[in-house]
Amino acid sequence: MVIEQIKIGYDNFCYVIYCPIHKKAAIVDPGFDTTKSLQFITANNLILEYIILTHYHNDHSAETKHLKKIIPSSRIVSSKEDGQKLPIKPDILVCDKSQLKVGNILLSFLLTPGHTPGGICIIVDKKAMLTGDTLFIGDCGRTDLPGGNLAQMYASLHEKIMKLPDELRGYPGQDYGERPFDSLGCQKRNNKTLKVKTLKEFSTIP
């Protein structure tokens, strides 16, 4: 798989998505410890093309400015909604169904509000999905923070994520589950936030 999952501070995950043929890469959610992802990039002779933020929260975006300063040719990618809240202006705004290429790797974006107004998931080559704080292993992201919305989260999970293929491997933004990643099929069967059938039921999940 062309995804490197990197554990960083406070149970966060940062990711490097890369094309081994063209040596191009994207860093997703540089919240802390950028050194680790930069080391991976350097060790594999990769060129950083994109810095992608699944949402604006500080623990996912704090080192974006620093990274852009180190590699000025890299382009910052976010949704329009969350881009407005970042301390640095994004270069590329994505919306539902936007696509970007990292070398041969196709990234497709899904707008999944609920945790924040402009949270995004990133589908990598139709094989994997980085879910930020929208979907965790066994749970979903909080909806009680500023900009969070329970009904939007339910719609993102049940009208978008539940419709995706079971084979997709889900990579969360936080290491809160019993494993660091899982197939979407397994999460559809076991994740309490995906198992519910109505918004009312969803709203009663502790």
Please give the residue ranges that form the binding site for Fe ion (CB under 5 A).
57, 133
**Amino acid (one-letter) located at 188:** K
Q: In this structure, what is the dihedral angle of CA atoms 182, 184, 185, 190, given to the nearest 10 degrees?
A: 70
Query: CA angle, corner 144, sides to 138 and 149, nearest 5?
Result: 90
Least Å from the CB of residue 152 to Fe ion: 14
CA–CA distance, 45 with 174 (Å, rounded to integer): 27
Q: How many residues does the chain have?
A: 206
Task: Specify the residue, 103 or 117, whose C-beta has the smaller distance to Fe ion.
Answer: 117
Pairing between strand 92-94 and 75-79? parallel
Nearer to Fe ion, 58 or 198 (CB): 58
Nearest approach, Cβ of residue 133 and Fe ion (Å): 4
Pick between residue 149 and residue 183 the one whose CB is nearest to Fe ion: 149
Q: Please state the closest distance from residue 23 (CB atom) to Fe ion, in A.
A: 31
State in angstroms the smallest separation of the CB of 156 from Fe ion.
Answer: 14
Residue placing its CB nearer to Fe ion in the complex, 19 or 156: 156
- Write out the two tokens for 129: 């999905």
If the CB atoms of residues 103 and 132 are measured against Fe ion, the closer one turns out to be 132
Nearer to Fe ion, 143 or 191 (CB): 143
Q: Which residues contact 167 (CB under 8 A, 6 or more apart)?
A: 127, 183, 184, 185
Q: Cβ of residue 104: shortest distance to Fe ion, in angstroms?
A: 30
CB atoms within 10 A of CB 28: 28
Q: Which residue has the tokens 């995804």?
A: 3
CB of 7 to Fe ion, least distance (A): 16
Residue bearing tokens 């554990």 = 7
